Amino acid sequence: MAPISIRLDRVSKRFDHTVKGEVYAVREVSLSVETGELLTLLGPSGCGKSTTLRMIAGFEEPDEGTISIDGRDVTHVLPNRRGIGFVFQNYALFPHLSIFENVAYGLRVQGRPEAEIVRAVAEVLQLVGLARYERQQPHQLSGGEQQRVALARAVVFRPKVLLFDEPLSNLDAKLRVEMREQIRSLQKRIGITTVYVTHDQEEAMAISDRIAVMERGVVVQDGTAKDLYYRPATEFVARFIGRTNLLEARMLPSGEAAFEGLRLPLPAGRPAGATVRLVVRPEMIDMIAPGPDRGAVGRVVQRTFLGEKTDYEIELGTARLQVSRNDAFARATFEVGDEVVLRIDSANVHVLE
């Protein structure tokens, strides 16, 4: 296992709210990031992810807890003494400086010799694909180009840690995908420890080694994208990562969970009559035309054709289920009003504890 680079130990940050009084923006967050790892803080706006990132950077100071980088306690160290590279949501390029001077800034502050600065800036601009932009002014560049300059500026002075605060949210959808791949490949190439903040779960899953999901100032789950998707720890995580069906089922004496005609055998250990909450992803529900096969019978109430897949909404008793199918390989397509039989393999069911 790689050594720990960033460690947060029970870090809290309070602020004054005009109505609610003192509230916690971040509450007893403990995290560790291994050297070279990319950890994403994921959550809805206001969950404390940006505040956590800004405390790692030193822009905010925790009220409680400690933060260390490479074994050194930096809890009360000013941002300029931490050796971090930071990429902002709005790029935050210096509007009065050229692209060259923007990227050179950190090196100039360190007082490096001119020749070294020229070489390093050229090299890093090459790396982000902006080799001939040195003399341009920031306002002459597109949003994506500006963000690449910001990235170059953040890595040129070889920081120990790279921090991203929703770096792609000002870009359009296509560019976002392109840029996140660039960021990931650059991060891997230089092997820099990275913390990345986003509210976009798809972006988080695409880019991260590990994801920490935050809700109301607390880390509710910390794991790989697969962990979060297949084994969400809470209802919040289940709903926030991907789409989900959350079924409130009752245990039968047979050891099966019953939900509106569905019978799902679960591992033993739950008493009969107990309520269990089951997470079933829409693509894990099989749907066939009514026939001799046994299963729960539902009815299609809505159908949305999305090209690569088709989303259905199925009425099952009093419940509504989301079902997602790849119709090209499916045995049949269904129309609104059709009766269908639903089947779920209990291997694909996750029980919320």
Partner 1 sequence: MAAGIASDRRRILRDPALFGAVAVLWLLLALFVLYPLAELLVRAFSDDGKLTLEPLLSAVADGSNRAAFLNSLILATTVGILGTLLGFLFALTAVRAGLGRRWLTALDAATLLPLVSPPFTTSIAIVFSFGPKGFISHYLLGLDNISAYGFWSTALAETITYFPIAYLTLRPIIAAIDPNLEEMAFSLGGSRWRIFRTVTLPLAVPGFANAFLLLFAASLADFATPLILAGNSFAVLPTQAYLQITGMFDFKGGAVLSLMLLVPAAAVYLLQRYWVGRRVYVTVSGKVGQRSRSRAIAPLASALLVAGTALVTVAILYFYALLLYASVVVAFGANNSLTWQHYHVIFTEGLPAIRDTLIIALVGMPLGGFYGVLVGYLIARRRFPGRQAMEIVSMINYALPGTIVGIAYLIAFNDPPLALTGGALIIVACYIFRYSPTGIRATVALLQQIDRSIEEASASLGAGSGQTFRRVTLPLIAPAFFAGLGVVFIRSMTAISATIFLVSLSWTLITVRILENMTELALGPAAAFSVFVIVVVFAVVSALSALLARLRTPTAGAAARSLLGG
Which chain residues interact with partner 1 by CB under 8 A?
14-16, 22, 57-59, 61, 63, 76, 78-86, 88-90, 92-96, 105-106, 109-110, 150, 153-154, 157, 163
Closest CA to 168 of 198, 190, 193: 198
Q: Are 247 and 259 in contact (CB under 8 A)?
A: yes
Cβ 163 to partner 1, closest distance in Å? 8
Q: Note whether 154 and 87 are within 8 A (CB).
A: yes
Residue 158 C-beta: closest distance to partner 1, Å? 11
- Residues 286 and 294: their CA atoms lie apart, in Å, by 12
**89: helix, coil or strand?**
coil
Alpha carbon distances (Å) from 15 to 105, 165, 267: 33, 20, 45
Among residues 15 and 302, whose Cβ is nearest to partner 1?
15
Considering beta carbons, is residue 80 or 275 the nearer one to partner 1? 80
User: What angle, rounded to 10 degrees, do the helices at 173-190 and 143-155 form?
Assistant: 20
Distance CA 134, CA 316 (A): 61
H/E stretch holding 118 reads helix 114-127
Name the minimum Å distance from CB 79 to partner 1: 4
Q: Which is nearer to partner 1, 114 or 178 (CB)?
A: 114
Q: Of how many residues is the chain composed?
A: 353
CB closer to partner 1, 105 vs 133: 105
- d(C-alpha 290, C-alpha 257), whole Å: 22
Query: CB-wise, 77 or 233, nearer to partner 1?
Result: 77
Comparing CB distances to partner 1, the nearer of 95 and 307 is 95
Minimum Å distance from CB 90 to partner 1?
6
User: Shortest gap between Cβ of 226 and partner 1 (angstroms)?
Assistant: 33
**Which CB, 65 or 282, lies closer to partner 1?**
65
Nearest-approach distance from CB 217 to partner 1, in angstroms: 15
**Least CB distance to partner 1 at residue 91 (A):** 8
* Residue given tokens 């170059």 in the structure block: 152
10's tokens: 């029970």
Do residues 237 and 213 lie in contact, with contact meaning Cβ atoms separated by under 8 Å?
Answer: yes
CB of 95 to partner 1, least distance (A): 7
Helices (H), 128-212: 143-155, 173-190, 201-207
Cβ-based nearer residue to partner 1, 156 or 279: 156
